[in-house]
Amino acid sequence: MRKTNLIIVLVTALGAASAALAEECSEFPPEFSDVDKLIHFLDAQESPTAPNDCVTVAIRLLGPFQSSKAVPTLIRYLDYKRPLSSAERNGVWFHPNVVTSRYPTISALATIGEASLPELVRVIGDPKTSPKTRDSAVFTVMLVHRQKPEEGISFLEDAANKATETTTGSLLQDAARKAADFCRADEHSRCGTLLSPTPDELH
């Protein structure tokens, strides 16, 4: 499936992911609203990738509050893949089986919106970030800019130009090129004009 089609599916899934909490967690019922306790719970977990229904619920509950103070905590969970529910293990899905469903942090950060962007840029530009995590961060940036993908590309290009380290700038420029794949077919040429030329293109 092309990324341009995939992102349309994912936008639809953003609402479904937070509304349909198939997981069960007595500690955090759907009406739970203490943001600080949710953040503290996630910060206290030893592993940000260990499957845990309460972790899934805490992440999904945080998104709609759009709290900027939750972003540093959620960033740790970009690679968190939620466990399947018993129904899903039997082939029954109550929401689309797409990236934002299995990786709830992407949906949460996209729902928080622009407040998540500085931390996402930091992750993308950090040479220590794994390729998988970097791709998730780029994807999240483009979901934040899902209404105007060209603004996501410009945002990443601007961050690359402002980078003080050469390696960081290169990683952010590479991210901008990947982000261009999220533009619709009729916008692809225009999105391409927003990209800085590569060293090979300069010669």
Could you report the per-residue pLDDT of 77-93, keeping only the tens digit for each? 999 999 887 777 777 76
Asked if residue 183 has pLDDT above 90, the reply is: no
DSSP state of 27: T
Query: Residue 151 falls within a domain, yes or no?
Result: yes
Question: What do you get for the CA distance between the two ends of the chain, in Å?
Answer: 34
Query: Residue 202 falls within a domain, yes or no?
Result: no
**Per-residue pLDDT at 98:** 66
Q: Range of 186's domain?
A: 3-192
Query: Residue 167 falls within a domain, yes or no?
Result: yes
Amino acid, res. 164: T
Query: Residue 198 falls within a domain, yes or no?
Result: no
Distance (Å, whole) CA 42 – CA 61: 12
More confident residue, 200 or 65: 65
Distance (Å, whole) CA 162 – CA 117: 15
User: Which tens digit of pLDDT belongs to each residue from 117-158?
Assistant: 999 999 999 999 999 999 999 999 999 999 999 999 999 999
Q: What is the mean pLDDT of the chain?
A: 86
Tell me which residue of 172, 136, 142 sits closest to 157, measured CA to CA.
Answer: 172
- Report the domain count for the chain: 1
Query: Residue 157 falls within a domain, yes or no?
Result: yes
Q: Cβ distance 34 to 4 under 8 Å?
A: no
Query: Residue 63 falls within a domain, yes or no?
Result: yes
Distance (Å, whole) CA 62 – CA 41: 12
Lowest mean pLDDT among 110-119, 122-131, 187-196: 187-196
Query: Residue 93 falls within a domain, yes or no?
Result: yes
**Per-residue pLDDT at 15:** 47
**Per-residue pLDDT at 54:** 95
Query: Residue 199 falls within a domain, yes or no?
Result: no
Phi (first) and psi of residue 198, to 5 degrees: -75, 165
DSSP state of 146: T
